[in-house]
Structure 1
Amino acid sequence: MSRAVFLLLFLPFSLFAQTVQTQFFRAILLPTSEVPPVSSTAHGVADVLASVVLDSSGQVVSGTVDVLARITFTATVTATGLGIWSGNVGQNGTLALNSVLSASSSYVVQINGDTIHQAIQVAGDNPTLLNALRGMVQNPAGYYVNLLTTVNPNGVIRGQLLRAQSTVLMALMSSDNAFPAPFNAGYGVAQVVAIGTRDASGNWNSAEVYLWATYNTQDQTAFSGLQIHPGAAGVVSTASLVPTLPGGLTPMPTGTGSIGPFYMELTTTAAAQTGTFTNLFNNPGSQYIDLRTVGNPLGLMRGQLQATGSAALQVPLSSTNELHTTSAPGAAPAALTIYTLLNPDGSIAAGSLLADMDYRFNGATQFLGLYLQQAPAGQDGPPTLQVTPDFHSDTGFGNYFTWSAPILDPGTLTSILQNPDGWYLDLHTVNDPTGAARAQLQPAATEPSGITAVINADLDKTAAAVAPGGLITIFGTNLSKVPCDLRGWSGSQLPYFLNGLAVNIGGRQAAMLYVSPQQINVQAPVDVPAGAQLMILSNANGPFATYTVNVAPSAPGIFFYPAPAILKNADFSLVTAGNPAKPGDVILVYCTGLGQTTPALSTGVAPVAGVLAQTTPVAATIGGQAAGVIYSIASPGFAGLYQVAITVPAGLTGSVPLALQQGGATSNSVNLALR
């Protein structure tokens, strides 16, 4: 069973209301896209970030559209307009969102590569612009970016908006991983942000990467490269993604610092580049990143790339939250996203911050930065971490969107994720240098923590027991302050702690998979005794919730949401009404709660491929008939998951019930589609 299918069936389906959101778009700018086509060799690509503020119903109420156009002309031209038009491919539409670039406020584009950056502000009191922003976000294909010049006043290069996909990766780098061994020791963490768009056939038609690194090294020679290579750990290969570093970039005298971001636009016709780019999304661990210096030209430090976990916090900054009287009212609804890599034990190894802030002040404002400060509501704390630099706004209205460099010291991030109500964001200005608008990262909990139910992770509410080694789901209130799962984690045994939370059943630690305020997913200890057992939830402050759970030697449960977890053995496709099985087919039923195996399982350790960890005997019925069970094993690669291979009996068609029996216990019944 693929990991994607398993996660689809097992992870919770929850929607969290957001007040701040940024969507990524790109546009491939070509003269042949103009109507009529323009005879020119100019070309470019535009990044379009729509940063919007949403009301409680999800409606866009204001926003900022940032257009960053990277363009290439072979001769100097004067740009007189850059905006977003409403119109489909092959049509000349109407100007929907216009920047300040104009004939009276023009820009001379330099040859062989230049950049134009324009921010388009959309206030809530302008219904025309607001409707255009809403339309662009909902249907980007109906809008295009157009660049105007004095020679081509109707447009010289244009491109339809394409919705982009992105991923954020990190790598723990060390000189111990570099080959050949470098002359100097060092360690650090790298961050990669990859953004791309696809054509109708699913091929990349635009792609870019941004690379950062935070380092600690004795090498004081200039940096010469930060680049991505295809290859597993121990493999040395030619780099395929090599952004250009500025010359003379040297380490800090202390040996500790950060560099980046370094940008690279990929050539989508280059197979090596697009292959690596695809793996950044699909298989990041098959790629490595290394940091090079003049003194260590083959690599000072390197590490395998990993997907990151993330936690997004909505933070509605307001001047009314300040403990002092501010010089003027102001607000800045923001989203703070924390990206993390986890150690094998579940603790944070490294991370970074993404700040997305829509500031709303009256008139020109000099901002002195956005800071993370540690103190509960009603108290002031000292600035701990600067999230944005100083910046100026002529109007006081706009958006600031920025990634931090990777953070190697995880102490602050650990504290934030475990106790977000003990931290706040504060936006400082020249007029209010100690704070112009603030908000806690999360309100303090008002309800006590408690467990309300414990069931098999297949979410069958009628199940009366759980089994040793099975996947179970715990429901309750205020179980964890911030959701956390195993994205960003790599290890051989599931951790016993996740975001500082631990679960003990019958005096034995459970293996952690997911925590959130209302739900926790764990693997029950494989050696927990049968009978009524006390479950204890603990965090950094000690035990905080208990519950008595009924443990049985066997408690089979078939995963059924959003669809029964039944695959065809022949091609591993999901059995559905549109892809039914037939009599004689061998099907694979994925379930939990089948107990201990031979050879024995260990808590949190997934069976390896090639080793059949067989359960005690399992029987099956399909459509009320006994069905032949070929095998019943712990599923390789997934702790707590089991798979049962069954032959579909003859004489059955349509939608029929399927159930498993083991040791006197019967599973939930799911519908099997047959033809």
Structure 2
Amino acid sequence: MVPAISGNTANAASQLVVLTALDSAGRVTSTQLIFDVNYNLGQKTTITGLHLHRGAAGVSGPVTIDSGLGQGFFPTVTTDATGSGNFRQFAEVDMSNPDAVATVDALITHPKDYYMDIHTTEFPAGLARDQVQGSDLIRLRVTMTPPGAAVTPPVSSAPTLLLLRTLRTEDGTTTVGSIMWICNFRFPGKTDFTGLDIYEGAAGVTGPRRLVSTVSLTQPYPTETGFGNMFYFTTISDAAGVAAVNSITQNPERYYIEIRSGASAAVAVRAQLGPAITALPVVTAAANSANGTAPAPGGLISLYGTNLSKVISDPFDSRLYFTPGLTGWFGKALPISYNGTKVTIGGKNAPLAYVSPTQINAQVPLDVPAGPQPVIVTNTNGVGAAVNVTVAAPVAPAIFANPAVAGGGVVAHQDFSLVTPQSPAKAGEVLILFATGLGQTTPPLTTGTLVPFPPLSETAPVSVTVGGMEARVFYSIATPFAAGLYQVAVTMPSGVAPGTAPLVLRIGTASAAAVNINVQ
């Protein structure tokens, strides 16, 4: 808390679900928040409040959304003797309150500007707090069928989507997880479901239960018709559950989900969380992430192939330049292992920005020498064959491509909105180019470390032309709080003909391939 409470060991993990309703124009008309909280407060106590506040880490800020706990129809929560347990709180957001509406928007776009706290009778000013954080998302799609079913199609089935969300430490290890269970069941008639859980075991093997939903013998889910949908979500913060989540992110095929039914909780349908993949990773192409040319030390490289990992984490993370994945990761240096995948370039560990079965984005280590270098991917099945990639040194400038514009590059206005045909560049305005491959900076960068700020990490001098006209350069820097990404700010020169104009970035004797921008 702020200030810190001496000797306080209380902790909690909360999943915050945001449910919105939209009108025909796509505007949010109502919002409900669901707080699912696992707590470990160290002693028996009564939880009297749960709030969202606006404020950075270490700063006290105003309440912007009150969960309503301890007010009106929502009673306080009295813990057991250990002070550990779970509760769920529902809050309808007042859409006439500007602060509340701004909070809902922030939860989706920049949640770290807000924090959540818990209050108890002993600590009415607050016992524990943490910043709200985004999470990685792994989607696991399966269709459960009766074990050993010989009928096609099976009499009973349950197409299911599991949304596995994680928060990660700096080395890529999960510390907290959650599962959203979305199960569409198709059974021949009336049924009482008495279990919906995840077990550890290969196909055809019965194994121990590792992760549970709330469906059980004491909390069954009845269906009169046999057709319907089950929707649950659970927060996972216990050591055994987190260990299972870490294992699933690396080898989902070693786990299965099943539905049980009836008073005996007999297995009705089941499915492995992933196919049994034993192949080693294969890299078929490697080039810089911006435009597919040669990478440079310190720049971003994209690897393409098959079996590079067994799962994909999304969605997009703005800190790492339009890169999906790592949204739930927090640290100062990118991990060298993620979801069981590692990469070396020239024998050196490459920090990872994105990992999927068919693509990896990584940073080329700053101390990799120029020339052909072996790229090796390791997954949970083993080490793949080396593929050579030619590394340019010390720089290989490349502006990121904008697929929305033919031959276009990622060039933004000063407010960071993109230059497009609908929003062209104007003479005299400041433009920001996003690039990779601009090499070492002053002060120097360290491989994998997110660029600190302040101070600015300045590259060697660069020049920029638009339509052949020289553009004044304000700065050329490694982008703060990212790795492998650079940005260059220039003034749009006057005298460039309206329409489409080529933009060229140069550093030393090296030139980036020209990209097109729209000019007014």
TM over 0.5: yes
Indicate the residue corresponding to 2:102 in structure 1.
275
Indicate the residue corresponding to 2:517 in structure 1.
672
Is the aligned partner of 1:506 residue 2:346? yes
Structure 2, unmatched stretches of 5+, are 314-324
Distance between the aligned counterparts of 1:420 and 1:432, measured in 2? 28
Is the aligned partner of 1:382 residue 2:222? no
Distance between the aligned counterparts of 2:473 and 2:104, measured in 1? 43
Indicate the residue corresponding to 2:480 in structure 1.
636
- Structure 1's 633 and 441: CA in aligned 2 closer, same or farther, altered over 3 A? same
Aligned residues: 492
- Structure 1's 556 and 258: CA in aligned 2 closer, same or farther, altered over 3 A? same
- Does the 8 A contact of 2:281 with 2:377 survive in 1? no
Of residues 23, 48, 52, the one that matches 1:224 is 48
- Structure 1's 541 and 477: CA in aligned 2 closer, same or farther, altered over 3 A? closer
Q: How far apart are residue 448 of structure 1 and its match?
A: 4.3
Structure 1, unmatched stretches of 5+, are 1-176
Distance between the aligned counterparts of 1:612 and 1:247, measured in 2? 51
Distance between the aligned counterparts of 1:648 and 1:180, measured in 2? 49
* Higher alpha-carbon Rg: 1
Is the aligned partner of 1:333 residue 2:153? no
- Structure 1's 376 and 583: CA in aligned 2 closer, same or farther, altered over 3 A? same
Q: How far apart are residue 663 of structure 1 and its match?
A: 4.5
* TM-score under structure 2 length normalisation: 0.86
Is the aligned partner of 1:244 residue 2:69? yes
Distance between the aligned counterparts of 2:493 and 2:139, measured in 1? 49
Q: How far apart are residue 392 of structure 1 and its match?
A: 1.5
Equivalent positions of 1:437-452 (< 5 A) are 437-445=269-277, 448-452=280-284
- Does the 8 A contact of 2:280 with 2:384 survive in 1? no
- Structure 1's 590 and 180: CA in aligned 2 closer, same or farther, altered over 3 A? closer
Of residues 136, 158, 163, the one that matches 1:309 is 136
- Does the 8 A contact of 2:402 with 2:410 survive in 1? no
Indicate the residue corresponding to 1:660 in structure 2.
505
The percentage of aligned residue pairs carrying the same residue is 39
Amino acid at match of 2:337: F
Q: How far apart are residue 502 of structure 1 and its match?
A: 1.9
Indicate the residue corresponding to 1:602 in structure 2.
446
- Structure 1's 448 and 506: CA in aligned 2 closer, same or farther, altered over 3 A? closer
Distance between the aligned counterparts of 1:568 and 1:482, measured in 2? 33
Q: How big is the alpha-carbon RMSD for the aligned residues of Structure 1 and Structure 2?
A: 2.7
Distance between the aligned counterparts of 2:76 and 2:519, measured in 1? 68
SS at match of 1:278: helix
Distance between the aligned counterparts of 1:428 and 1:573, measured in 2? 51
Indicate the residue corresponding to 1:57 in structure 2.
none
- Structure 1's 315 and 216: CA in aligned 2 closer, same or farther, altered over 3 A? same
Indicate the residue corresponding to 1:345 in structure 2.
171
Is the aligned partner of 1:215 residue 2:39? yes
- Does the 8 A contact of 2:296 with 2:392 survive in 1? yes
Equivalent positions of 1:483-502 (< 5 A) are 483-484=312-313, 485-502=325-342
- Structure 1's 580 and 231: CA in aligned 2 closer, same or farther, altered over 3 A? closer
- Structure 1's 209 and 431: CA in aligned 2 closer, same or farther, altered over 3 A? closer
- Structure 1's 204 and 334: CA in aligned 2 closer, same or farther, altered over 3 A? closer
- Structure 1's 533 and 397: CA in aligned 2 closer, same or farther, altered over 3 A? same
Of residues 391, 401, 405, the one that matches 1:560 is 401
Q: How far apart are residue 210 of structure 1 and its match?
A: 0.8
Distance between the aligned counterparts of 1:642 and 1:336, measured in 2? 36
Distance between the aligned counterparts of 1:641 and 1:594, measured in 2? 9
- Structure 1's 406 and 584: CA in aligned 2 closer, same or farther, altered over 3 A? same
Distance between the aligned counterparts of 2:295 and 2:258, measured in 1? 46
Of residues 200, 217, 222, the one that matches 1:392 is 222
Distance between the aligned counterparts of 2:225 and 2:355, measured in 1? 42
Indicate the residue corresponding to 1:528 in structure 2.
368
Amino acid at match of 2:451: P
* TM-score under structure 1 length normalisation: 0.68
Indicate the residue corresponding to 2:316 in structure 1.
none
- Structure 1's 649 and 367: CA in aligned 2 closer, same or farther, altered over 3 A? closer
Moved more, 372-381 or 356-365: 372-381
Distance between the aligned counterparts of 1:416 and 1:652, measured in 2? 55
Amino acid at match of 1:557: A
Distance between the aligned counterparts of 1:363 and 1:200, measured in 2? 37
SS at match of 1:315: strand
Moved more, 517-526 or 274-283: 274-283
Equivalent positions of 1:68-467 (< 5 A) are 177=1, 179=3, 181=5, 185-197=9-21, 204-239=28-63, 240-245=65-70, 246-247=74-75, 249-260=77-88, 262-319=89-146, 321-322=147-148, 329-389=155-215, 390-409=220-239, 410-430=242-262, 433-445=265-277, 448-460=280-292, 463=293, 465-467=294-296
Q: How far apart are residue 671 of structure 1 and its match?
A: 1.0
Q: How far apart are residue 627 of structure 1 and its match?
A: 5.2
- Does the 8 A contact of 2:281 with 2:379 survive in 1? no
